[in-house]
């Protein structure tokens, strides 16, 4: 079985500051992937970033980076230079079971303050 | 390129009534997913298709839910009869073969059962 845990129901960050959203996972798979989605209030799910379990370097996509610590089973999302448009729900997810099974966490609501 | 299309966007029905949701994935995407997202929660996978084959339906409540993906393109998810607890947003997503982390989501159908 695989599990994703996001312990921060809500976060606030000042505009232009960096913020870290926590994600821990549990799996018995040796090969798996971790990724993050953003869900604005409009409801659509937007893919942000992906990290494979064998990737040695942390993934980065523009202002998003994934702080992958395999020994701690964590895959935190770091957003640099927060913008008002970053206010949304953020979901951490895992792709395991031979890259076939997808599991989402419960999400973190991020609010960026002007 | 058109995104994932879902209809209807909203549906209100009385309990015990049937309801159906339709999804048209991104052209060329072999993999199609149906998720249910309860308020304040992450998406929960109901069923995953590879072309026209349902390869993971372990989370689909088969006593009342059914799905089909004829010809490996469009898909329909049906609930019969609906219960109060089925009120949720039903999301459809598609991904290229082998890229389960890179899912493109539709806008969802918000179902309210009264």
Residue A56's pLDDT is 86
CA dist., res. A71 & res. B72, Å (int): 40
pLDDT tens column, A78-104: 999 999 999 999 999 999 887 778 899
Residue A57's pLDDT is 92
**pLDDT of A67 over the 70 cut:** yes
pLDDT tens column, A21-57: 999 999 999 999 999 999 999 888 999 999 999 988 9
Residue B97's pLDDT is 84
Which of B6, B10, B40, B42 is the mutation pick for testing A, counting most A CBs within 10 A?
A: B42
Contacts with A89 (C-beta within 8 Å, 6 or more apart), sequence order? A38, A39, A40, A107, A108, A109, A110
CA dist., res. A88 & res. A112, Å (int): 9
Give yes or no for a contact between B22 and B37, defined as CB atoms under 8 angstroms apart: no
Judged by a CB distance cut-off of 8 A, whether residue B21 touches chain A is no
CA dist., res. B67 & res. A34, Å (int): 28
CB contact under 8 A, B42 and A100: no
Closest C-alpha among B42, B109, B114 to residue B78: B109
pLDDT in tens, chain B (114 residues): 689 999 999 999 999 999 999 999 999 999 999 999 999 899 999 999 999 999 889 889 999 999 999 888 999 999 999 999 999 999 999 998 888 888 899 999 999 999
Give yes or no for a contact between A73 and A55, defined as CB atoms under 8 angstroms apart: no
CA–CA min distance B24, chain A (Å): 15
What mean pLDDT comes out for the span A70-85? 97
């Amino acid at each position: 079985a695989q599990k994703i845990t996001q312990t921060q129901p809500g976060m606030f960050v000042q505009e232009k500051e960096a913020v870290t959203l926590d994600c821990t996972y549990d799996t018995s798979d040796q090969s798996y992937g971790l990724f993050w989605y953003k869900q604005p209030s409009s409801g659509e799910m937007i893919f942000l970033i992906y990290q494979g379990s064998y990737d040695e370097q942390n993934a980065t996509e523009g202002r998003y980076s994934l702080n992958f610590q395999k020994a701690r089973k964590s895959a935190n999302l770091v957003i640099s230079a927060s913008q008002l448009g970053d206010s949304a729900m953020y979901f951490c997810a895992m792709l395991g079971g031979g890259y076939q099974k997808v599991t989402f966490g419960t999400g973190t609501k991020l609010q960026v303050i002007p | 390129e058109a995104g994932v299309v879902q209809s209807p966007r909203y549906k209100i029905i009385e309990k015990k009534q049937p309801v159906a949701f339709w999804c048209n994935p991104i052209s060329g995407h072999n993999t199609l997913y149906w998720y249910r997202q309860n308020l304040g929660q992450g998406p929960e996978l109901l069923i995953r298709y590879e072309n026209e084959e349902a390869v993971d339906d372990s989370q689909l409540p088969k006593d009342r839910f059914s799905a089909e993906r004829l010809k490996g393109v469009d898909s329909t998810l049906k609930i019969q009869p609906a219960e109060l607890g089925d009120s949720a947003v039903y999301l459809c997503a598609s991904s290229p073969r082998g890229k389960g982390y890179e899912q493109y989501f539709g806008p969802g159908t918000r179902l309210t059962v009264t």
